[in-house]
Amino acid sequence: MLGQQAPDFSLESTTGQPIRLQSLLGSYVVLIFYPANDSPTCNKQLDEVNETWEGFLEANARVFGINTATLEKQKQFCVRRRLQFPILSDPRGTVAKRYKAFLPLLPFNRRTVVAICPAGKIFFYERGKPDPFKVLSAIKTQKDASTQPKC
């Protein structure tokens, strides 16, 4: 998916507002697809992002967690974890499928982190739980590139 135009989407958010990728263009966008709320690895991943939140703000990056739980469960999870970024509800995995981040046999999101540049192209795509500083470094590299591709 690297270098491709990010698939547009619109999902309900824990902020109460629908989030559409198209309306976020002009900022960096980080999508964290994760399998489940309240599982040890998912909690750790989202807590690490929360702990590095200032770095994402400084990078002009909008961060969103995405999984298949209902919006009500997402809201409760955000409050319990004190997350500083919203979670998007993708109950059928529709968006996760577009980003090749879905495990249909389970059916859960496959842990995947995607970063999208202000022009809407994917410049970071990694399965698993990359360190948030790795994602921030990729954003910085993208910003600093003197021969920055038409991103």
1-5, 22-26, 60-64, 146-150: which range is least confident on average?
Answer: 146-150
Instruction: State how far the Cα of 146 lies from the Cα of 151, in Å rounded to an integer.
Output: 13
pTM of the predicted model as reported, rounded to 2 decimal places: 0.94
Q: What 8-state DSSP symbol labels residue 144?
A: H
Using alpha carbons only, what angle is made at residue 67 by residues 63 and 72, rounded to the nearest 5 degrees? 95
Instruction: State how far the Cα of 107 lies from the Cα of 103, in Å rounded to an integer.
Output: 5
Instruction: State how far the Cα of 78 lies from the Cα of 74, in Å rounded to an integer.
Output: 6
Output the furthest CA–CA distance in the chain (Å, rounded): 44
pLDDT in tens, 38-78: 999 999 999 999 999 999 999 999 999 999 999 999 999 99
Q: Is the pLDDT of residue 148 over 70?
A: no
Q: Predicted confidence band at 150 (pLDDT cuts at 50, 70, 90)?
A: low
Task: Give the residue, 148 or 137, on which the prediction is more confident.
Answer: 137
Catalytic residues: 42
Domains annotated for the chain, with CATH where assigned, are 10-131 (3.40.30.10)
- Closest Cα to residue 86, out of 49, 116, 117? 49
Report residue 116 as tokens: 């999208």
Q: Where does residue 26 rank: exposed (0-12), middle (13-18), buried (19+ CB within 10 A)?
A: exposed
31 and 62 in contact (C-beta within 8 Å)? no
What pLDDT score was predicted for residue 106?
82
Instruction: State how far the Cα of 34 lies from the Cα of 39, in Å rounded to an integer.
Output: 10
DSSP for 22-52, written as a single string: HHHBTBEEEEEE-S-TT-HHHHHHHHHHHHT
